[in-house]
């Protein structure tokens, strides 16, 4: 397989934009990525786009905004991992030699979707969903298990939110650029005990785009391409095989595959962008990604290692908690953030001397399958 590089990234501002279409949000992200890369729109050979709600020919609708047509366009849906799936699709096309230049797009307009202002509804045959196993309920249950087994406290979960909102306050594209105290997080509206409103990611509109190409092409545009050294995607197993609700079997398996493909170890990772739909979830993912020993996630958080300036900053963008979570956009946006740090262009939230970064995305609930149905991990290096 050929070496693949990222040479262009773009993101819209995240927020609530009821007067904007998904196509216009996507067009903004694509235009930014094209300008960043130096690639002419007519040079794009393949496109993958992801969108979860109100989707119809997403890639075609977005790319017509910037004058791109008459090429292979593939639209995917994979819950929160949709954007990560689109990125992997383009990566495979180029790594396999089918194309030399491609674009991955993730976009969501939650405020104009059929579920605007509502809890994400279960599928018609989703028995667990109709019995109340929604995302907040699941993570509330998991939080209680974490507190019982690992010594975690509700203040620890609030600390994750405080950390990520601080990071988000440094990000001009974040939905919420406001800092909070632990007390403010704890005193916000209760959603699903012990999870409060400020421990939950908001519903958000936004888009992100990444331009990938073969290494030969990349070197024509830049002397310091960002290499994609691993790209993995895996679906979870049957739920009855999940031994512990506080551990994502699919997440750890996907991480091991990514580290092996990249030829690196967890200790080599300089920063991580991950799925933090709920504050307590971030602590779980420290362990899934083997950033610490099993059961030591709370210790890692308390040590300050995952804050900006720490050993391995996690969600320096502000994460889903502060930046916002336009479902399918997030899996592309995480890659954009990692690329900025590897280039040394992340501004006030920059990770010093970043050489290797990891973009993680997890999502989906399906009755009978492990919670967090799909996991995807990309590792990038300069």
CB atoms within 10 A of CB 132: 11
Buried b (16+ CB within 10 A) or exposed e, 215-237: eebbeebeeebbbbbbbbbbebe
CA–centroid distance for 294 within its chain: 23
Decide if domain 132-200+230-381 falls under CATH 3.80.10.10.
Answer: no
**pTM, whole model, 2 decimals?**
0.95
Q: Answer yes or no: is pLDDT of 119 > 90.
A: no
- pLDDT digits 0-9 by tens, 296-343: 999 999 999 999 999 999 999 999 999 999 999 999 999 999 999 999
C-alpha distances (whole Å) from 266 to each of 21, 156, 292 are: 39, 23, 9
C-alpha distances (whole Å) from 381 to each of 103, 152, 350 are: 19, 33, 15
Instruction: Give me 206's structure tokens.
Output: 């936004």
Q: CA-based diameter of the chain, in Å?
A: 57
138 Cβ partners below 8 Å, 6+ apart? 365, 371
pLDDT band at 41 (very low <50, low <70, confident <90, very high): very high
Q: Answer yes or no: is pLDDT of 222 > 80.
A: yes
**Catalytic residue status for 325:** yes
Active-site position among 166, 167, 275, 325: 325
**Catalytic residue status for 80:** yes
Q: How far apart are CA 324 and CA 297, in angstroms?
A: 23
pLDDT given at position 287? 96
Domain ranges across the chain: 4-115+204-226, 132-200+230-381
Query: What is the CATH architecture assignment of 4-115+204-226?
Result: 3-Layer(aba) Sandwich (3.40)
Q: Answer yes or no: is pLDDT of 381 > 90.
A: yes
pLDDT given at position 113? 83
pLDDT band at 133 (very low <50, low <70, confident <90, very high): confident
pLDDT band at 88 (very low <50, low <70, confident <90, very high): very high
Q: Answer yes or no: is pLDDT of 117 > 90.
A: no
Question: How open is the CA angle 205-375-54, to the nearest 5 degrees?
Answer: 35
Average pLDDT over residues 109-127: 79
pLDDT band at 241 (very low <50, low <70, confident <90, very high): confident
CB 44 within 8 A of CB 102: yes
Q: Answer yes or no: is pLDDT of 239 > 90.
A: no
CB atoms within 10 A of CB 297: 25
- Tokens 């690992």 sit at which residue? 150
- The helices-and-strands tally (H runs, E runs) of the chain is 13, 11
pLDDT given at position 245? 85
- pLDDT digits 0-9 by tens, 335-378: 999 999 999 999 999 999 999 999 999 988 787 888 888 999 99
278 Cβ partners below 8 Å, 6+ apart? 135, 136, 139, 143, 195, 199, 200, 201
Count of alpha carbons within 13 Å of 49, Cβ hemisphere only?
A: 25
For residues 249 and 254, the model is more confident at 254
Active-site position among 80, 192, 201, 213: 80
Average pLDDT over residues 232-258: 90
Bridge partner list, 208: 11, 106
pLDDT band at 116 (very low <50, low <70, confident <90, very high): confident
Q: How far apart are CA 322 and CA 179, in angstroms?
A: 9
CB 331 within 8 A of CB 106: yes
Give the length of the chain. 382
CB 48 within 8 A of CB 71: no
| DSSP H or E stretch at residue 184 | helix 182-187
C-alpha distance across the termini of the chain, in Å: 19
Q: How far apart are CA 153 and CA 146, in angstroms?
A: 8
Instruction: Give me 337's structure tokens.
Output: 């953030």
pLDDT given at position 242? 81
pLDDT given at position 243? 83
pLDDT given at position 363? 87
Residue percentage of the chain with pLDDT more than 90: 84
Average pLDDT, the chain: 95
DSSP state at residue 275: -
pLDDT given at position 25? 97
pLDDT given at position 134? 84
């Amino acid at each position: 397989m050929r070496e693949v590089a990222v040479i262009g990234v773009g993101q819209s501002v995240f927020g609530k934009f009821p007067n904007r279409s998904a196509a216009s949000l996507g067009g903004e992200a694509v235009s930014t990525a094209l300008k960043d890369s130096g690639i002419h729109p007519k040079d794009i050979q393949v496109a993958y786009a992801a969108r979860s709600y109100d989707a119809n020919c997403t890639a075609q609708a977005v790319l017509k905004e910037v004058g791109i047509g008459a090429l292979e366009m593939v639209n995917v849906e994979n819950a929160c991992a949709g954007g990560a799936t689109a990125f992997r699709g383009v990566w495979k096309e180029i790594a396999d030699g089918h194309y030399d230049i491609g674009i991955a797009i993730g976009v969501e307009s939650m405020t104009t979707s059929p579920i605007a202002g509502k809890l994400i509804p279960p599928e018609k045959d989703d028995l667990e969903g109709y019995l109340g196993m929604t995302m907040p309920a699941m993570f509330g249950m998991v939080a209680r298990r974490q507190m019982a087994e690992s010594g975690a406290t509700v203040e620890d979960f609030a600390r994750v939110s405080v950390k990520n909102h601080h990071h988000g306050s440094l990000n001009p594209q974040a939905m919420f650029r406001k800092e909070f105290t632990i007390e403010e997080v704890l005193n916000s509206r209760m959603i699903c005990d012990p999870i409060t409103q400020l421990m939950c990611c908001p519903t958000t509109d936004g888009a992100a785009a990444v331009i990938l190409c073969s290494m030969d092409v990349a070197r024509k545009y830049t002397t310091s391409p960002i290499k994609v050294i691993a790209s993995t995607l895996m679906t979870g197993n049957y739920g009855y095989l999940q031994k512990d609700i506080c551990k994502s079997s699919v997440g750890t398996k996907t991480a091991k595959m990514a580290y092996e493909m990249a030829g690196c170890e967890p200790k080599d990772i300089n920063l991580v962008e991950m799925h933090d739909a709920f504050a307590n979830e971030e602590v779980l993912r420290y362990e899934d990604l083997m950033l610490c020993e099993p059961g030591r996630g709370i210790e890692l958080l308390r040590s300050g290692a995952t804050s900006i300036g720490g050993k391995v900053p996690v969600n320096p963008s502000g994460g889903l908690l502060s930046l916002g979570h336009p479902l399918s956009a997030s899996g592309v946006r995480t890659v954009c953030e990692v690329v900025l740090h590897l280039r040394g262009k992340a501004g006030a939230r920059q990770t010093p001397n970043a050489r290797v970064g990891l973009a993680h995305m997890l999502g989906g609930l399906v009755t009978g399958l492990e919670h967090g149905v799909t996991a995807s991990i990309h590792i990038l290096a300069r």
